[in-house]
Structure 1
Amino acid sequence: MSTFALCACGAGPTAHPESPQQRDGRFHNVVPRVQPGFLKTVALGWEFLTHKTDASVPSVPIPVQPLTPEALLAAPDGSLYRLGHSTLLLKLDGAFWLTDPVFSERASPVQWAGPKRFHAPPIDIDALPPIKGVILSHDHFDHLDHAAILRLAPKVEVFIAPLGVGDRLIAWGVDPARVRQLDWWGETKAGSVQLIAVPAQHFSGRGLRDGDRTLWASWVIATDSLRLFFSGDTGYHADFKTIGERYGPFDLTMIETGAYDRQWADIHMQPEETLQAHLDLKGRWLLPVHNGTFDLALHPWNEPFERIHALAQARDVKLATPVMGERLSVSAPHAGEAWWRRVHE
């Protein structure tokens, strides 16, 4: 759950009344989400303060494979690297792409409080090669990092975002000519890469008064030879099957598996739902993301890995769990080791 989504930060986005998803100035899910209300919000806050255990963060640093610019430039096409949480670096047809780039120490509007990283990014922004595009799923602090966007802006050709999220970037000083905003089922192309914004079941907001003023989305990322799905944040929903029918099968699905709880089950999937979404999408390999970097829920930090690992084995689903910074081939992935178990040895 995005604990700091209600902190004040930045100017509000522009309204997009042309969108079927927007009514009364706010965006809506296909199935309305459960509104927690004041008392439940206070109760959740108290539970976070009083029921967290030491297991919610790693006892020792997690393994990270450092990346160099030389290694990235020499990497073959179809390479993928997890940089942390939902931040993925992709090399597609000779160009580099980033999803939800978060490089700051904390997923928070301030850097003196809030969820702190378990590990440093495998590479610094300054060392990254030129970036063809940044793909954004929504505006929560663990997915949209203000400091990272400002540092990335000079080396990014295009930012691709859901409606309203692009307005935030422009308000932060990003050149409007480099920003493309899409509604659900909207499509765009940058170079040889086609991107389609598809429905997600979530919410948005970075301030006390801007809840759901921007849209949230998952993404289909396609080249002539590869097809990927990036979930961003989402609860399980019926459109996974529609997406699979329209755009599948997918070589790799990158789906959230972490920061879940039965108390907010409509906006974050349980691991069982992650697996079902992958099957709905007709995925070949599953890469679980939204884990291993920040403490954003009540479960132990390594629980998402253990649960999705067991579920994938039981259903004979091909699961990729690379170490942060480890190269993964999208066309021919490898399973990787159960590295999270090493942290406790």
Structure 2
Amino acid sequence: MLATTACTSTNNLSEVNATEQLAHHKAKGGFVNTSPTFSDDTAILPLLKRYITETRVDATPNTSIPVIAVTAEQLNQLPKNQDSVIRLGHSSIFLQVNGQRWLIDPVFSERASPFSFAGPKRFHQPPIALTDLPEIDGVIISHDHYDHLDKASIKQLATSVSHFVVPLGVDKHLKDWGVVSEHIHPLDWWQAFKLDDVTITATPTQHFSGRSLFDKNETLWASYVIKSSSSSLYFSGDSGYFDGFKQIGERFGPFDLTMVETGAYDKDWATIHMTPAQSLQAHIDLQGKKMMPIHNGTFDLAFHSWYDPLNQIAQLASDANVEIVTPKMGELLAVNEIHKTTHWWALK
């Protein structure tokens, strides 16, 4: 797609000392969260008991989620000088920056699960089928959980995409699924990948990784700072609230748009996902101008109602005089001219 392409991987370690850089690495391999308040000791059996016995209200929609269909022709006609964002569902994003087309955490499968017959099922279909997308320059992956790293989608993209930016260790999955190593750019926190005038920096989150009972935290998890010549974006991936947001804001902010996890929170995993109030605070810490709540509206991943994250963040943002944008799935956002969006989840 690009007439000329120059790509480099760099260590963006200014103001980061060696101790800080290595603190999240285990001595014998794998990764850890470093916050003294972090806790990840939730047992599986009590959670299963809750899922079986706890009464849940509106865990899934009883009416259709509004989706704006998108065509390849429409994407091809996007102005090259307009940085654009389209929410595809959950945390999946189509992004055009400096004329480059990127997918973030593309999940096009029917379920966010290792099984085709069980696990969280989509509330809605993607605005565009994976096979209908125009040429994609790159894919960004935040971590290896099934609602962010979709094997079927990656296998479909493996031979047509030239750049896959991933946290350390996630490259092993991609290689197993047919992506050639030369196209994969594994990054540690604070390291960056640059393609022409677009720089993508992996930044910290407070989360965990693993695709089975036996590979927990063998791969890294990350958020991303995406800077072009005309805009500055932040994508949170998954994270509990921690002081890293303020650190990222101080180093890379302000941001024209933050895409921040707002959903799948619960008292039993309070340090690996954020409540809406914490998501809003993360946006403020990041020095964001506008916030787009993500990680909601597509899969049932927690005990709260499907619309609770959006209801809460809309009210909290209004009370705090913070600008949020809640586009429908498939709705185009021009980053530097973001229009007013609706509370689509509340419309009858």
**Fold shared per TM-score above 0.5:** yes
TM-score, length-normalised on structure 2?
A: 0.91
- The answer on 1:66 being equivalent to 2:69 is yes
Work out which of the residue numbers 262, 270, 273 in structure 2 matches 1:265: 270
- The answer on 1:319 being equivalent to 2:324 is yes
Give the match for residue 35 of structure 2: 31
Q: Which AA in structure 1 matches 2:225?
A: V
Pairwise CA RMSD of aligned residues? 1.3
Work out which of the residue numbers 104, 114, 132 in structure 1 matches 2:119: 114
Q: Could you tell me how far apart the structure 2 residues matched to 1:182 and 1:29 are? A: 17
Listed as ranges, the matches of 1:55-134 within 5 Å are 55-76=58-79, 77-134=82-139
Work out which of the residue numbers 45, 50, 61 in structure 1 matches 2:48: 45
- After superposition, give the CA deviation of every residue in 1:77-104 in whole Å (9 maximum; x if it has no partner): 2111000000000111112111100000
Unaligned 5+ residue runs, structure 2?
1-20
Q: CA deviation at 1:334?
A: 2.1
Q: Could you tell me how far apart the structure 2 residues matched to 1:288 and 1:243 are? A: 18
Listed as ranges, the matches of 1:1-345 within 5 Å are 20-23=23-26, 24-31=28-35, 33-36=38-41, 40-76=43-79, 77-342=82-347, 345=348
- Paired residues of 1:158 and 1:179 also in contact (CA < 8 A): yes
Q: CA deviation at 1:34?
A: 1.7
Q: CA deviation at 1:191?
A: 2.5
The SS at the match of 2:51 is helix
The SS at the match of 1:196 is strand
Q: Could you tell me how far apart the structure 2 residues matched to 1:306 and 1:335 are? A: 17
Q: How many residue pairs end up in the alignment?
A: 324
Q: CA deviation at 1:335?
A: 3.0
Q: Which AA in structure 1 matches 2:310?
A: F
Q: CA deviation at 1:166?
A: 1.3
Q: Which AA in structure 2 matches 1:185?
A: W
The SS at the match of 1:148 is helix
- Paired residues of 2:265 and 2:275 also in contact (CA < 8 A): yes
Q: Which AA in structure 2 matches 1:72?
A: L
Q: Could you tell me how far apart the structure 1 residues matched to 2:40 and 2:330 are? A: 37
Unaligned 5+ residue runs, structure 1?
1-17
Q: CA deviation at 1:50?
A: 2.3
Q: Could you tell me how far apart the structure 2 residues matched to 1:205 and 1:120 are? A: 26
- Paired residues of 1:318 and 1:335 also in contact (CA < 8 A): no
Q: Could you tell me how far apart the structure 2 residues matched to 1:258 and 1:286 are? A: 14
- Paired residues of 1:319 and 1:335 also in contact (CA < 8 A): no
Q: Could you tell me how far apart the structure 1 residues matched to 2:39 and 2:56 are? A: 27
The SS at the match of 2:159 is helix
Q: CA deviation at 1:258?
A: 0.3
- After superposition, give the CA deviation of every residue in 1:234-292 in whole Å (9 maximum; x if it has no partner): 00110111111110000000000000012111000010110111011110000000000
Q: CA deviation at 1:19?
A: 5.1
Q: Which AA in structure 2 matches 1:64?
A: V
Q: CA deviation at 1:293?
A: 0.1
Q: Could you tell me how far apart the structure 1 residues matched to 2:308 and 2:322 are? A: 18
Q: CA deviation at 1:45?
A: 1.1
Q: Could you tell me how far apart the structure 1 residues matched to 2:40 and 2:245 are? A: 23
- After superposition, give the CA deviation of every residue in 1:181-214 in whole Å (9 maximum; x if it has no partner): 0001111102321011111000000012100000
- Percent identity, aligned pairs only, is 50
Q: CA deviation at 1:48?
A: 1.4
The SS at the match of 2:185 is strand
The SS at the match of 2:199 is strand
- Paired residues of 2:231 and 2:336 also in contact (CA < 8 A): yes
- Paired residues of 1:137 and 1:161 also in contact (CA < 8 A): yes
More off after superposition, 26-35 vs 252-261: 26-35
The SS at the match of 1:29 is coil
Q: Could you tell me how far apart the structure 2 residues matched to 1:73 and 1:155 are? A: 16
Q: Could you tell me how far apart the structure 2 residues matched to 1:203 and 1:52 are? A: 28
The SS at the match of 1:188 is strand
Q: Could you tell me how far apart the structure 2 residues matched to 1:139 and 1:114 are? A: 16
- After superposition, give the CA deviation of every residue in 1:27-75 in whole Å (9 maximum; x if it has no partner): 01122632325xx321111111222525010001100000000111112
Give the match for residue 9 of structure 1: none
Q: Which AA in structure 1 matches 2:209?
A: S
Q: Could you tell me how far apart the structure 1 residues matched to 2:159 and 2:302 are? A: 34
